[in-house]
Structure 1
């Protein structure tokens, strides 16, 4: 009757409104992280300098005193917060793309691990969502394993940003930090290193599956020194969420990027995603493309205090082969043709 029709219409309206609200929350959650990635460090530094010049200067002085006292905390495992890692905003972040974490093998809590994450993409969105939040259930999939996503040490010199990053279990990608976690923090630690780094980000573009790995062997040497097992990780779709202007080798643009990479540690990219209000316009929001991160089989690594170059090369070759096998095994399941080949540079 009329009553049931009205009820049905109201239910349809409710679900429509709920869907729209959820989509807006997803956009807001992703936007806040993009802005965090791009400007939070600089913005917080400028705000702190401004406060020093106002009547509230004492607040800035107190924070700076705390900063000096707390300076080495990022190098000692940081200060993770399960509360922050479980924020609801990260679930909206996950659902925007969506992002998914796939487990292929169990990890022992009696071992430590170095995850090699590939590819970098523009912002490493899959790495952040999967390993610095609990949105995709990393703690449930790998019980007893504490993931630490490693990023540029310079980020931890930025006020406020450093504390925000540490709350998610993010640590500096330097030897002091990694040595501490793998030697003085017990077992069950998994350091996630985006091996290709800034160099790899310069070549990421939709439709391209390539990694910068041939001459990246430092992470293997660290694994050998600590007896930490290596785990290849490939994120299908990481390169699809932004479009980038790729400068040819030898061009002025690539020269500038390499200079930044050499002296500062990151390479500026000219990229774009979708607009804030429309997917048909350009903007800073990434495109809503699925990102599926597959955690491969751990490679058992012996502990060698002073590994030779031969040792490093041997286990590096095993790692490269394992990554290629992981890619080949899962590529067709996540939208790639069987003929797709992983390009290892």
Structure 2
């Protein structure tokens, strides 16, 4: 394989963008593991008291992730997030106004490999979410596993991330003053296994928990589709029914996280590596679907709203796909 190296003369701004995306990839793939090693390693040094004090703080602060988290405003103002946004670049597209006096459930599709669009739009806030939807605060849901990792839990909470469990989402959706948008990557980790360039496979057919959550709390549902999400990484072919897909699905059920074999480019060359390609991502936020509150919805009510949600998501995709280079004969595939 011929390696294509990056030019020696590249604008400094582009180098900063690459550095920003490098730290973002490192955060997703290795920072949690490094935090665990650091916490344990400190116990066997003269700095052991740091881990002991942190463990005490961790116990006192154990309910914070499920009670709205701890977003830190200065985190959104860090220059690295603007460079991360501009690397792809990522853009947030508004299609309708949202009442800040209500709470919402955003269904984000597709998950992609590392949910780049969701992170940039709803955690870094560099694409103008607060300006487009004044009075609303987004909270992206993440696997509860990561909130059990010392040090790492505090870092991800500072960006507005909360655990992807019912208790955490309900805490925000039940706040009477409104103003909260709970963002759920509905397909979750398993959907990452279908994140191939040019694919529009959405894991939604049997995903109804977010619909039931919306009904129980009377929160309008908002479909969100991120065009370009599957284009920033390549993935080893793993069709359903192959041995590789079988192994990946078993590991996902066992570990709770999926293990897509993805690749893209490197830092100093463009032929291989784990740095995403520079391809634009357009995250389109649809119109809210009104939901009537019912703390004990029937299965029929959940199915009806789920079907309506799929219809609205399809409509959103079909109305906007032409603007973002999706061929006319391409449609969403639900599994």
TM over 0.5: yes
Return the alpha-carbon distance in structure 1 between the equivalents of residues 210 and 252 of structure 2: 19
- Report whether the alignment pairs 1:299 with 2:289: yes
Gaps of 5+ in 2: 1-7
- Report whether the alignment pairs 1:341 with 2:322: no
Q: Please give the per-residue CA displacement for 1:200-227, whole angstroms capped at 9, x wherever unaligned.
A: 1101100111111010000000000000
Q: Please give the per-residue CA displacement for 1:149-174, whole angstroms capped at 9, x wherever unaligned.
A: 00100010111111111111110000
1:252 offset after TM fit, Å?
3.0
- As a proportion of its length, which structure holds more helix? 1
Return the alpha-carbon distance in structure 1 between the equivalents of residues 57 and 244 of structure 2: 40
> 2:117 aligns to what SS in structure 1?
helix
Q: Please give the per-residue CA displacement for 1:64-97, whole angstroms capped at 9, x wherever unaligned.
A: 1111111110000000011102211111000000
Q: Is the 8 A contact 1:119 1:234 kept in 2?
A: yes
Q: Please give the per-residue CA displacement for 1:283-335, whole angstroms capped at 9, x wherever unaligned.
A: 11000000000000000000001000000000000000000000000000011
The 5 Å alignment of 1:267-282 reads 267-279=258-270, 281-282=271-272
Q: Is the 8 A contact 1:114 1:230 kept in 2?
A: yes
1:144 aligned residue (115, 135, 141):
135
2:275 is matched with which residue? 285
TM-score (norm 1): 0.93
TM-score (norm 2): 0.95
- Structure number with bigger Rg: 1
Return the alpha-carbon distance in structure 1 between the equivalents of residues 223 and 175 of structure 2: 24
2:238 aligned residue (218, 233, 247):
247
Gaps of 5+ in 1: 1-15
Return the alpha-carbon distance in structure 2 between the equivalents of residues 37 and 112 of structure 1: 28
Number of aligned positions between the proteins: 328
- Report whether the alignment pairs 1:203 with 2:194: yes
Q: Is the 8 A contact 1:203 1:246 kept in 2?
A: no
RMSD of Structure 2 on Structure 1 (CA): 1.3
Q: Is the 8 A contact 1:114 1:192 kept in 2?
A: yes
Return the alpha-carbon distance in structure 2 between the equivalents of residues 159 and 303 of structure 1: 37
1:272 offset after TM fit, Å?
0.4
